[in-house]
Amino acid sequence: MKELVDFLPKSIKFNSASDDLKEECFNFLKSFELQGKSQLTIVEYSRTISHFITFLENYLGHQVKLVDIKNLDKISISSYLAFYRNPEKNNFLKNIKNNFQSQKYFFVTKTPKKILDEDKVFFSKKDTLKLLEDLEIFFGGQIKKGIEIEKSIKIKNVYSKVERLRRNGCIKLDKVKKEKSSRSVARNISVLRTFIDFLSKSNKWENHAINKIESSKYISRTDDKVFEEQDIIEFLNFIDPDIQSKNINDKFFSWEHRRDLAILYFLYSSGLRVSEILQFKMKDYPFKEYTKIIGKGKKERYVIILDVVNEKIKHYLNNLLESETSITLEKNDPLFLKYINGLKKNLSSRDIQRTMKKLINGFEGNYPIHSTPHSLRHSFASHILRGGTDIRAIQELLGHSSLTSTQIYTELNEKTLLDVYDKSHPHTGKKE
């Protein structure tokens, strides 16, 4: 139990729980540990439960006991869920004019990389270009309140125009608290159900009020995270020194860039998570076409690794050995590593996120709003689904425990669905 307590953040100590409830909390988390759940999963569950108990202490007016959890009614649980979704209700987007003066803003750019379709006419006007120039001078790199903008920029409906600039990335709000997404609320309910179900079985409770709470319905959107197929090819070609020859960045020939390039090819061609790619050692290379990995929740699965991945890793390793003549690679070294001051270190997920952001910022083609390393996994799944791959096969490749997690990729546009249907259904008569 001590080991379990040690890796929990200091903020999660269940101080709002009485001794009997606190003991049950740790028994619950210990059961997850015995099931082989990751530390990350256990921490996230403990954080949600701690948040729930802290709310109940304020709601009930006393330290929370085990019997209080047993006697919770539907109204109490619903009150917590409403609090979780939005502890400080923010009506900014619903009432721009009334909230504009108290909001704080900072200037980002005069030329957004992407403009929303409904704002294209607005950005084509000379008045808008003049406004952007005035705002850039006015902000001067500082954070300003809306009331300051209104007093200094004398134009009609300035609050509405600033909002348009904000939603296209020219101006940003400073530290706005956002309402939790429906998906986040659904995840929260799931954690509470699992926790209270554990308590109910341990203490022989029946008909708990949590069972009267409907599961939160949410639509998981991937369209702002998925590259179009041609766009991802153009992006990879743009950053690949073996393909790109015109106006290429000199840094693209470094071994560090070739390492990052190999990782991005790996992510897109296999659908792996970043954490799964970082588990590989030097002894794992070169990869077989079908390679076994340890995925989320310590579950084993096989993934397909294309020749292009082995090729990019080969280029990375050759460049590493040529550039760092003093380095010696051991079989148990991480396959993707950092070499700093003569020391080999593990590459982190954050390192890859920073690299992706930097490369996207230099790319002038099309890309999704949320272009992260994980968006390559989304793109992999979406693209092979469009190609007609069975949804259950995709579930296996991604390592999803539930088919529900995989079904978010079935939200394709009507044309794509019809194309797949026409090519696959025997009654269409449209075989190639």
Q: Taking every pair of C-alpha atoms in the chain, what is the biggest distance, in angstroms?
A: 71
The confidence band for 413, taking pLDDT boundaries of 50, 70 and 90, is very low
pLDDT in tens, 374-383: 999 999 988 8
The rounded distance, in Å, linking the Cα atoms of 138 and 120 is 24
CA atoms within 13 A on the CB side of 204: 0
Task: Tell me, yes or no, whether 250 and 324 share the same domain.
Answer: yes
Task: Tell me, yes or no, whether 239 and 342 share the same domain.
Answer: yes
Q: Is residue 219 part of a domain?
A: no
* pLDDT for 317 beyond 90: yes
Task: Tell me, yes or no, whether 270 and 338 share the same domain.
Answer: yes
Alpha helices for 119-241 (secondary structure H): 120-124, 126-139, 146-152, 158-167, 182-203, 229-239
Letter for the amino acid at 312?
K
Q: Is residue 112 part of a domain?
A: yes
Provide the number of structural domains found in the chain.
3
* pLDDT for 356 beyond 80: yes
Task: Tell me, yes or no, whether 162 and 187 share the same domain.
Answer: no
Question: What integer best gives the mean pLDDT of the chain?
Answer: 83
The rounded distance, in Å, linking the Cα atoms of 234 and 239 is 9
* pLDDT for 187 beyond 60: yes
Based on DSSP, count helices (H) and strands (E) in the chain, helices before strands.
20, 7
pLDDT in tens, 66-99: 999 999 988 788 878 877 876 654 333 334 566 7
Task: Tell me, yes or no, whether 346 and 236 share the same domain.
Answer: yes
Task: Tell me, yes or no, whether 252 and 327 share the same domain.
Answer: yes
Two tokens at 306? 């294309």
List the catalytic residues.
Answer: 273, 296, 374, 377, 400, 409
Q: Do 378 and 225 contact (CB within 8 A), yes or no?
A: yes
Q: Is residue 52 part of a domain?
A: yes
The rounded distance, in Å, linking the Cα atoms of 380 and 201 is 41
Task: Tell me, yes or no, whether 34 and 58 share the same domain.
Answer: yes
Q: Is the dihedral of CA 149, 94, 218, 198 positive or negative?
A: positive
Q: What is the DSSP string of 221-276?
A: --TTT---HHHHHHHHHHH-TTT--SS--GGGGSHHHHHHHHHHHHHHHH---HHH
Q: How far is CA 163 from the centre of its chain?
A: 25
Q: Is residue 53 part of a domain?
A: yes
Task: Tell me, yes or no, whether 339 and 300 share the same domain.
Answer: yes
Q: Is residue 404 part of a domain?
A: yes
- Structural domain containing residue 46: 2-87+182-212
Letter for the amino acid at 243?
I
385-402: average pLDDT: 85
Q: Is residue 44 part of a domain?
A: yes
Q: Helix, strand, coil: what percent of the chain each, to 5?
A: 55, 5, 35
Q: Do 200 and 191 contact (CB within 8 A), yes or no?
A: no
Q: Is residue 222 part of a domain?
A: no
Two tokens at 75? 């109204």
pLDDT in tens, 140-166: 888 888 888 988 998 887 887 888 898
Higher-pLDDT residue of 183, 205: 205
Q: Is residue 72 part of a domain?
A: yes
pLDDT in tens, 237-292: 999 998 876 667 888 999 999 999 999 999 999 999 999 999 999 999 999 998 99
Task: Tell me, yes or no, whether 104 and 130 share the same domain.
Answer: yes
Task: Tell me, yes or no, whether 255 and 331 share the same domain.
Answer: yes
Task: Tell me, yes or no, whether 383 and 282 share the same domain.
Answer: yes
pLDDT in tens, 318-345: 999 999 999 999 999 999 999 999 999 9
Higher-pLDDT residue of 130, 365: 130
pLDDT score, position 80: 84
The confidence band for 59, taking pLDDT boundaries of 50, 70 and 90, is confident
Whether the model clears a pTM of 0.85, i.e. scores above it, the answer is no
Task: Tell me, yes or no, whether 118 and 241 share the same domain.
Answer: no
